[in-house]
């Protein structure tokens, strides 16, 4: 990239990072419910959804899998929407600036540089591996080779995906949004095509009667683990949805479109993943698209899916790197955008050397990230809806220094971080996704619901003691927008 172009991108990104963190005016809120629904449906239909469907039917059959998917995603997405979308939409501010009202300015940085960073690096790595497997399979078909689909060529192609993702990312937000415009409708066509191909070679009876692939003995436990996994999948949208929702024109548009679009897109793609896994033994389309679709259609589909993975990678990496830049204060202010992007890609690149690890640990990864996000959402819901009654001063979010009304304790809402830590640990005590040990309560409540509840209770108690009863940090503030929307 030449110097002039680099400077142009830097300015574009700096503009986005700075102006993107500024509150949107009404004229800039360009999405109605329909627009936002299209965005969220498009985001949801990606190869990770096939993987989620396939992982679900490790534990349960097709009909129970659909039930677990509906239960988990419906509740998980609702918790996610309450914990991200509503706040950012009302005040028109990107998510991590808005969360200063919950965690404090330094507290947000802690959340971003730990939970958000690691979760999004994990998803980036997984998308890279899926790309690598797709292109390994294409090579096998094109050259008659028999490369191992977890072998070194997967790593080579995965690293290629990360490099391509970095190039797209380095060019800034305009390139990413242009690419998404044609990837999204293409994915819907691909998903429908995949399902047609699958069912042309199998019967509905076969599908409905197919046993789960690797269940435990306890059927109730299997079902609840499937539900919990889908709860985690629903919650996994938390890091990016608030910032998108600020572009919508009203609270109902934001909430219904985020929940509804993600729900519909996820259901469509997961059903294909479930059916593929049960009928062929593999949720990942790289394993069966060519045998089912034939060499030409199969390879074209894989090419498209591989490309879609890279654009999805660039989208989530962009949101995360932007959050890092904005949360870092002066620390990253003078680091060039492509360098920060490259830094973000280091861990995902390392993980591509262990493609089977990422694949095999997919469910564990989703569940562990869900543990932390559930806790975060519980704290945010308690703060925004119960203590603040949806009142957050836009101006206060941009204040700094000793005059900052949202200063908490040196920039940290201690109650919020303690509640997140306790509730995450509580989740992992109820359900340890590494050892697969569960407490008896898990079979009736999942781990997510008690964790969210505990996060709310702990936060309400601690925050009241530390901050709310003292009347500081704008608890009990007058709602400047009290007349908004009222006739």
Partner 1 sequence: MHKEIYPPMTQHTELEQELDRRLTEIESNEIGDPVHAALSGRSILVFTAVALGIAAAAWIVAAL
Please report how close the Cβ of residue 154 comes to partner 1 at its closest, in angstroms: 36
Q: Which of 11, 114, 201, 203 binds partner 1 (CB under 8 A)?
A: 11
Contact flags string 39-78 toward partner 1, x per CB under 8 A: ------------------------xx-xxx-xx--xx-xx
Contact flags string 411-450 toward partner 1, x per CB under 8 A: ----------------------------------------
Contact flags string 208-247 toward partner 1, x per CB under 8 A: ---------------x------------------------
Residue 304 to residue 183: CA distance in whole angstroms: 8
The one segment of 109-117, 281-289, 434-442, 473-481 that binds partner 1 by CB under 8 A? 473-481
Q: Which of 141, 145, 158, 134 is nearest to 287 (CA)?
A: 134
Q: Is 398 exposed, middle or buried (0-12, 13-18, 19+ CB in 10 A)?
A: middle
Q: Which of residues 366-385 bind partner 1 (CB under 8 A)?
A: 385
- Are 348 and 121 spatial neighbours (Cβ–Cβ below 8 Å)? yes
Q: Which of 13, 333, 405, 352 is nearest to 163 (CA)?
A: 352
By CB under 8 A, residue 86 contacts partner 1: yes
Closer CB to partner 1, 3 or 146, in the complex:
3
Name residues whose C-beta falls within 8 Å of residue 428's C-beta, 6 or more positions apart in sequence.
368, 371, 447
Closer CB to partner 1, 144 or 485, in the complex:
485
Give 303-306's long-range contacts (Cβ < 8 A, gap of 24+): 303/134, 303/138, 304/186, 304/187, 304/190, 305/47, 305/130, 305/134, 305/190, 306/130, 306/131, 306/134, 306/135, 306/138, 306/161
Residue for token pair 């072998």: 151
By CB under 8 A, residue 480 contacts partner 1: yes
Contact flags string 384-413 toward partner 1, x per CB under 8 A: -x---xx---xx--x---------------
Closer CB to partner 1, 67 or 110, in the complex:
67
Residue for token pair 């519909």: 264
Both tokens assigned to 194: 């995949």
CA 294 to chain centre: 33
Q: Which of 22, 176, 414, 425 binds partner 1 (CB under 8 A)?
A: 22
Please report how close the Cβ of residue 221 comes to partner 1 at its closest, in angstroms: 14
Element holding 373 (H helix, E strand) = helix 362-381
CA 246 to chain centre: 17
Residue 158 to residue 41: CA distance in whole angstroms: 26
Please report how close the Cβ of residue 338 comes to partner 1 at its closest, in angstroms: 11
Q: Which of 36, 123, 259, 288 binds partner 1 (CB under 8 A)?
A: 259
- Are 62 and 275 spatial neighbours (Cβ–Cβ below 8 Å)? yes
Q: Which of 459, 374, 364 is nearest to 79 (CA)?
A: 374
Please report how close the Cβ of residue 38 comes to partner 1 at its closest, in angstroms: 20
Q: Which of 113, 118, 282, 336 binds partner 1 (CB under 8 A)?
A: 336
Angle at 78 between CA 224 and CA 422, to 5 degrees: 65
By CB under 8 A, residue 332 contacts partner 1: no
Residue for token pair 């629903």: 234
- Are 225 and 367 spatial neighbours (Cβ–Cβ below 8 Å)? no
Q: How many residues sit close enough to partner 1 to count as binding (CB under 8 A)?
A: 52
By CB under 8 A, residue 201 contacts partner 1: no
Please report how close the Cβ of residue 78 comes to partner 1 at its closest, in angstroms: 4
Please report how close the Cβ of residue 435 comes to partner 1 at its closest, in angstroms: 26
By CB under 8 A, residue 10 contacts partner 1: yes
Q: Which of 421, 376, 373, 419 is nearest to 120 (CA)?
A: 373
Closer CB to partner 1, 35 or 282, in the complex:
35
By CB under 8 A, residue 304 contacts partner 1: no
Residue for token pair 């992007």: 341
By CB under 8 A, residue 255 contacts partner 1: yes
Please report how close the Cβ of residue 471 comes to partner 1 at its closest, in angstroms: 22
DSSP letters spanning 290-347: HHHH-HHHHHHHHHHHHHHHHHHHHHHHHHHHHHHHHHTTTTTTTS-HHHHHHHHHHH
Please report how close the Cβ of residue 391 comes to partner 1 at its closest, in angstroms: 8
Please report how close the Cβ of residue 29 comes to partner 1 at its closest, in angstroms: 6
Question: Which spans of this chain sit near partner 1 (rule: CB under 8 A)?
Answer: 7, 10-11, 14, 18-19, 22-26, 29, 63-64, 66-68, 70-71, 74-75, 77-78, 81, 86, 90-92, 223, 249-252, 255-256, 259, 333-334, 336, 385, 389-390, 394-395, 398, 479-481, 483-486
């Amino acid at each position: 990239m030449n110097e002039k172009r680099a400077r142009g991108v830097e300015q574009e990104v700096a503009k986005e990072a700075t102006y993107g963190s500024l509150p949107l005016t009404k004229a800039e809120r360009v999405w109605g419910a329909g627009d936002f629904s299209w965005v969220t449906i498009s985001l949801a239909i990606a190869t990770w959804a096939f993987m989620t469907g396939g992982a679900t039917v490790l534990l349960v059959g097709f009909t129970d899998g659909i039930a677990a998917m509906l239960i988990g995603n419906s509740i998980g997405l609702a918790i996610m929407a309450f914990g991200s979308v509503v706040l950012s939409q009302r005040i028109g501010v990107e998510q991590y600036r808005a969360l200063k009202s919950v965690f404090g300015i330094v507290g947000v940085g802690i959340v971003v540089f730990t939970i958000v960073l690691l979760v999004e690096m994990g998803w980036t790595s997984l998308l890279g591996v899926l790309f690598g497997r797709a292109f390994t399979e294409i090579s096998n078909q094109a050259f008659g080779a028999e490369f191992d689909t977890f072998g070194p060529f997967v790593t080579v192609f995965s690293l290629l995906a990360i490099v391509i993702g970095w190039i797209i990312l380095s060019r800034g937000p305009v390139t990413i949004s242009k690419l998404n415009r044609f990837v999204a409708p293409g994915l819907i066509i691909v998903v429908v095509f995949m399902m047609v191909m699958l069912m042309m070679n199998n019967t509905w009876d076969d599908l409905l009667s197919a046993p789960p692939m690797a269940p435990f003995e306890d059927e109730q436990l299997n079902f609840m683990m499937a539900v919990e996994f889908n709860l985690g999948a629903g919650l996994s949208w938390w890091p990016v949805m608030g910032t998108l929702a600020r572009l919508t024109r009203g609270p109902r548009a934001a909430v219904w479109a985020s929940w509804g679009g993600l729900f519909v897109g996820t259901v469509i793609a997961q059903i294909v993943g479930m059916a593929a896994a049960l009928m062929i033994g593999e949720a990942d389309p790289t394993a069966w698209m060519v045998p089912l679709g034939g060499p030409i259609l199969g390879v074209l589909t894989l090419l498209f899916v591989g490309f879609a993975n890279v654009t999805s990678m660039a989208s989530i990496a962009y949101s995360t790197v932007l959050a890092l830049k904005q949360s870092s204060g002066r620390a990253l202010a003078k680091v060039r955008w492509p360098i920060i992007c490259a830094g973000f890609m280091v861990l995902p690149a390392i993980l591509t050397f262990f493609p089977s690890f990422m694949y095999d640990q997919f469910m564990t990864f989703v569940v562990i990230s869900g543990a932390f996000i559930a806790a975060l959402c519980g704290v945010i819901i308690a703060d925004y809806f119960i203590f603040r009654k949806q009142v957050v001063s836009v101006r206060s979010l941009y204040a700094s220094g000793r005059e900052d009304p949202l200063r908490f304790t040196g920039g940290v809402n201690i109650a919020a971080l303690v509640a997140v830590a306790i509730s995450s640990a509580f989740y992992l005590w109820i359900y340890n996704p590494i050892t697969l040990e569960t407490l008896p309560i898990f079979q009736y409540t999942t781990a997510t619901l008690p964790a969210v509840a505990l996060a709310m209770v702990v936060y309400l108690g601690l925050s009241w003691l530390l901050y709310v009863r003292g009347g500081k940090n704008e608890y009990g503030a007058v709602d400047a927008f009290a007349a908004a929307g009222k006739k």
